[in-house]
Structure 1
Amino acid sequence: MGDLPLWRLEDLYPSRDSEAFRADLSRADEMATAFEAKWKGKLTEAAKASGDKGLGSAIEEYDALDDLLGRIASFAGLTYFSNTSDPANGKFYGDVQSRLTDLSAHLLFFPLELNRIEDAIIDAAIKADAKTAHYAPWILDLRKDKPFQLDDKLEQLFLEKSMTSAAAFNRLFDETMAELRFEIDGEMLPLERTLNLLQEPEEETRRKAAEALSKTFKDNLRIFTLITNTLAKDKEIGDRWRGFEDIADSRHLSNRVEREVVDALASAVREAYPRLSHRYYAMKAKWLGMEQMNFWDRNAPLPETPKALIPWAEAKETVLSAYGAFSPDMAAIARRFFDEQWIDAPARPGKAPGAFAHPTVPSAHPYVLVNYLGKPRDVMTLAHELGHGVHQVLAGGQGALMCQTPLTLAETASVFGEMLTFRALLDKTKDKRERKAMLAQKVEDMINTVVRQIAFYEFERKVHTARKEGELTADQIGELWLSVQNESLGPAIRISEGYETWWTYIPHFIHSPFYVYAYAFGDCLVNSLYAVYQNANEGFQQKYFELLKAGGTKHHSELLKPFGLDATDPSFWSKGLSMIEGLIDELETLDRM
């Protein structure tokens, strides 16, 4: 596959023991203490002033501190994810998290006190002071949290206790997953390589991989059940104290999306199960010569799928050329990730599984982690994560406080990048059999992104609801898992013994409860957005870049308006889902030819 790149974390700090890192940690301590002494108890007075004594200046200092703390936290996290099996990395990550939590206690007053200022005073400050006006989107966004804030002492307690509650169990999950090994024909494989075998053409290989996964998950079921119960209860306590009505309302608030919009999305996808996943998997079973596929056949390649591994250089050129055909500027940003070593690509023991794009902070640059194994899906994953990276670079101009995009729009650039890459490859493919294999893989990826993620969301809802009545056994969680899997996958998939434990390895359930619907939101949104692009006159690329550059400064309704899209319209989700249905129609047509 060629030379796979390793990322250059030296762009953040030379090493975890470097003088530069220790100096920044000390500087952050001093700045946080000084910031508290300067501004605590004085924000209402600052809101009535301007210039260096005004609220805008206070937020500007807070923004700079947020960037510094983010740089420190990013370096610790990326070092840890590079090799979670290294005890020294684990200690470093834990120590830095603890230090930052203590340090953040000096800053906790700021958003709480700011939200206690009367609306009229805030409005007047935004009108009267240019610096305050610059941060108006962040101020107004912050005030949406106001109804759910606790008093300062309680907020400090929640912050400090997070290290020994949610953060501790998150780390336990990560380190447990990194250490798991799955035995296949006498060889002990890590998670990522074992999951990859589910995409092998030989049915026997897939079966052995599935059985190895099920056995190891079952052997470790007790610890995963404890982690899940503890985190669900921890979330319930926090939600109850803050006054959230629904179990997912805190996620909706952080995403800045209305519950009704998410409910409409989930409902539309559930109603589409028969037209999408049930219909497609029935077709695939026939192509594989089966009446019913086993659960380990779900992502099996079709006989038409090319067998050769895709070298890294080819994957790079594929993605960059697809990006460049849409926008040379977009390709130029993506190319920097390769040229300047912002990507960590090899799969290796101890490395975090899966893939992600970490934004770090605006004063630095994002990093991309993939576990590249040369499969076509790995190329699409690279296109996806580079889309995130381009988005993060463009949004960085908003500064540390306003660059973070809500999850509802955070998947826009990533899924759009995937779609550009897929369409570019499909347009070059003239062979009917190869075209069928490509279309099938794209449909499967979209089903995994939309149907599977909404099924995950429904599973989380069931788990968190049931947990309110008491601790759940592994069998109970497994039953909830199978109920949503049976409903979403349909009758063409045979779910046999062992699959009831496969909820254990999904990291989003642990790290970001209810995050998963963002994937479906993003996929359906991009399907609609791509349809606009296909029919657009000049100017789409500029409007698209403006959407990405906005970061967290605008609501999704405002960002989608220039494209004539409205996520509150019930038909919006149907438009997005119809694109998946259209690809299945095309596959059916190819099958008859």
Structure 2
Amino acid sequence: MTTWNLDALYKGFDDPSFKADLVKCEGISLRYKALIEKHLTHHNDEIGSIEAFLKALIEDMTTLRRVGAFGHLSFTTNSKSKDALMTKSKVLKFESMLTEPRVAFKLWLKEIDSIDALASKSILIQEHLFFLEELIASTAHMMSPKEEILASKLSATGASAWETLQSKASSQLSYEVPLPDGTKAMPIMAIRNLAFSGDKSIRKLGYESELSAYDTHAEVSAAALNGIKGEVLTLSSLRKFDSPLDETLFNSRMSRKTLDSMLRTMEQFLPDFRRYLKAKSRLLGNEGAMPFYDLFAPVTESDKSFTIAEARSFIVSYFADFSTELSSFADKCFEAQWIDFEPRAGKVGGAFCSNIPSINQSRVLLNFTGKLKNVLTIAHELGHAFHGDRIMSESILNTNYPMPLAETASIFCETIVRNAVLKNADEDLKLSILENSLSSATQVIVDILSRYYFETAVFEERKDHPLSVAELKELMLDSQRKAYGDGLDENHLHPYMWLNKNHYYYAARNFYNFPYAFGLLFATGLYAKYLEQPDKFLTKYDEMLRATGKMSIVDVCSIMDIDPENEKFWASSLEKIKEDVDAFEAIVDQKLSK
């Protein structure tokens, strides 16, 4: 089967278990009203009150995440499903019901003299000490209880509604493409996949058709982006953050020193990525800088294609070289139908993994077309699933890891497969693998920088006024020029990259760009440590993954003896990528000299 199976969640929207859980969620307000009256109106039994509240949160979050996962996953593979859309809306309402009790619990916790003293007398409190300390720390950035409740309720008809509109409209977008064998109506993801064609004229046609399709959709996306970013700016200010970026760093458990150290180092290595782009452009026969539509072009005629079965065998075998546990887990994901593979109308673009602690399982969405890049994407997403598997031994309240650490296991697993293939590759396959790797790294370092620059500029401009489509396009072009420099043809950039990246429309996850760079560079550094001491690495690696939901980033990194605030660490990881650029450039020069 090429589609996933969601029966472990529910067998359908008419499943009695699904309906029963909806009824249970409807009662959240009444349950917590009674809980607050019984436990949060005094401090007579602080341990008993905290334990009662933790148990209630664990039970209700388990149910909510199960219902939410079913609605979300159903929607992503069929954005026309009314039941899925209705479920997503209901989950937002249910989550808003938890705002008032969470606020009350935070303020009550703040009054306690010593949470550490209570933790020493309660196993349950000790297990959730980091979670409780974060709740207390967050009170410094809270509006009044009434304002927090109002903001949560309004979000369902504000930023969350804009996000759903953008996702639904963009996933259903199609365009008449004048292909050589006749004009054909194609969904937007199929059009974007033309970028991987071996025929330059098809790649250019796909690029031009994509931009034309976005012309018809741009006003909707601009309205959504303005609505979301405007709301974020308002709430961020009211919660006493200096900026949305500061709020993101706070929620990410990441220091500004870590971010600045990483970004500065990335900028220092931009000339090396531009060397790669220029070398690829020469190989593709371009006279000057590379046009945007050639970014994902294959560089060898023998660019291998894979069936799903071949991809499975490929990944499982290479994972086994690292860990039999990882290999067996990956095989189970294929066998148990946890993966939805192929693109189709109504299915969202891209790829993601959804970890579902409510059922101790994950689901992976792909848009698989058989390319080596797609195989590496499977390895990447299975890394997310493996991370979820490690952390599911924790309480559900300790499973929310911050964005920068979210990409660690995924990129690590992708690196395992990529490096294993490189060992025995002939020149053409080596070139293809290096190209796939460097293409991905360029997206994660260079394009991510352009997205970071863009989002920073959007927030700055949005303080003053809603941005027009023309302004958004120009900000995107400016950001691409700054990041890519002379590596790309400035006459063939992509002014609509703000439209096809869903991350810009996540109100709760602003600046969902630099975490990818953190993940790549952190995973690259981890892989180097694995090669140095493979026997000692696995135990510490598992410990680190389990800790990601209950430690700051600095503390998580310290488990692996890494200091993320030191530029030397980031430089050492980027040097590894620079070595790949050198190898790629040497092969290109050799080929062109023949």
State the TM-score bracket (shorter-chain normalisation).
over 0.9
Q: Are residues 127 and 576 of structure 1, via their aligned partners in 2, closer, same or farther at CA, if it must alter by over 3 Å? A: same
What is aligned with 2:306? 310
**Does residue 239 of the first structure (1) align with residue 219 of the second (2)?**
no
C-alpha separation between the residues in 2 aligned to 1:43 and 1:428? 64
Q: How many residues align?
A: 583
C-alpha separation between the residues in 2 aligned to 1:537 and 1:330? 15
Is contact 1:415-1:526 (8 Å) kept? yes
Out of 139, 152, 159, the position equivalent to 1:146 is 139
What is aligned with 1:343? 339
C-alpha separation between the residues in 2 aligned to 1:106 and 1:438? 52
C-alpha separation between the residues in 2 aligned to 1:592 and 1:457? 33
Look up the SS of the partner of 1:499 in the other structure: coil
Q: Are residues 163 and 54 of structure 1, via their aligned partners in 2, closer, same or farther at CA, if it must alter by over 3 Å? A: closer
**TM-score computed with the length of structure 2 as normaliser:** 0.94
Is contact 1:460-1:514 (8 Å) kept? yes
What is aligned with 2:322? 326
In the TM superposition, residue 40 of structure 1 has moved relative to its aligned partner by 4.4
**Does residue 443 of the first structure (1) align with residue 438 of the second (2)?**
yes
String of CA shifts for 1:284-327, please: whole Å, max 9, x gaps. Answer: 1111121222111111111x252452100111111111211100
Q: Are residues 160 and 326 of structure 1, via their aligned partners in 2, closer, same or farther at CA, if it must alter by over 3 Å? A: same
Out of 177, 180, 190, the position equivalent to 1:184 is 177
Tell which deviates more after alignment, 344-353 or 36-45: 36-45
C-alpha separation between the residues in 2 aligned to 1:410 and 1:267? 22
Is contact 2:291-2:492 (8 Å) kept? no
C-alpha separation between the residues in 1 aligned to 2:175 and 2:564? 43
- 1:310-459 → structure 2 map (5 Å cutoff): 310-429=306-425, 431-459=426-454
Q: Are residues 28 and 90 of structure 1, via their aligned partners in 2, closer, same or farther at CA, if it must alter by over 3 Å? A: closer
**Does residue 467 of the first structure (1) align with residue 447 of the second (2)?**
no
String of CA shifts for 1:249-286, please: whole Å, max 9, x gaps. Answer: 1111111101221122222212221122x111111111
C-alpha separation between the residues in 1 aligned to 2:141 and 2:93? 26
**TM-score computed with the length of structure 1 as normaliser:** 0.94
What is aligned with 1:113? 107
**Does residue 100 of the first structure (1) align with residue 94 of the second (2)?**
yes
What is aligned with 2:245? 248
**Does residue 536 of the first structure (1) align with residue 529 of the second (2)?**
no
C-alpha separation between the residues in 1 aligned to 2:154 and 2:46? 36
In the TM superposition, residue 47 of structure 1 has moved relative to its aligned partner by 7.8
**Does residue 17 of the first structure (1) align with residue 10 of the second (2)?**
no
Out of 278, 282, 295, the position equivalent to 1:282 is 278
What is aligned with 2:524? 527
Is contact 2:438-2:577 (8 Å) kept? yes
Is contact 1:214-1:502 (8 Å) kept? no
C-alpha separation between the residues in 1 aligned to 2:420 and 2:223? 46
Look up the SS of the partner of 2:366 in the other structure: strand
RMSD of Structure 2 on Structure 1 (CA): 1.9
**Does residue 485 of the first structure (1) align with residue 480 of the second (2)?**
yes
What is aligned with 1:171? 164
Look up the SS of the partner of 1:15 in the other structure: coil
Q: Are residues 48 and 569 of structure 1, via their aligned partners in 2, closer, same or farther at CA, if it must alter by over 3 Å? A: farther
Look up the SS of the partner of 1:150 in the other structure: coil
C-alpha separation between the residues in 2 aligned to 1:133 and 1:357? 30
Out of 218, 222, 231, the position equivalent to 2:219 is 222
What is aligned with 1:552? 549
Q: Which residues of structure 2 form unaligned runs of 5+?
A: none
Tell which deviates more after alignment, 11-20 or 262-271: 262-271
In the TM superposition, residue 23 of structure 1 has moved relative to its aligned partner by 0.7
Tell which deviates more after alignment, 552-561 or 497-506: 497-506
In the TM superposition, residue 38 of structure 1 has moved relative to its aligned partner by 2.1
Is contact 2:110-2:136 (8 Å) kept? no
In the TM superposition, residue 346 of structure 1 has moved relative to its aligned partner by 1.8
Letter aligned with residue 465 of structure 1: E
String of CA shifts for 1:410-429, please: whole Å, max 9, x gaps. Answer: 11000000000101111121
Look up the SS of the partner of 2:156 in the other structure: helix
Is contact 1:47-1:125 (8 Å) kept? no
**Does residue 123 of the first structure (1) align with residue 143 of the second (2)?**
no
* Percent identity of equivalent pairs: 24
Letter aligned with residue 30 of structure 1: G
Letter aligned with residue 295 of structure 2: R
Look up the SS of the partner of 2:361 in the other structure: coil
Q: Which residues of structure 1 form unaligned runs of 5+?
A: none
Q: Are residues 540 and 38 of structure 1, via their aligned partners in 2, closer, same or farther at CA, if it must alter by over 3 Å? A: same
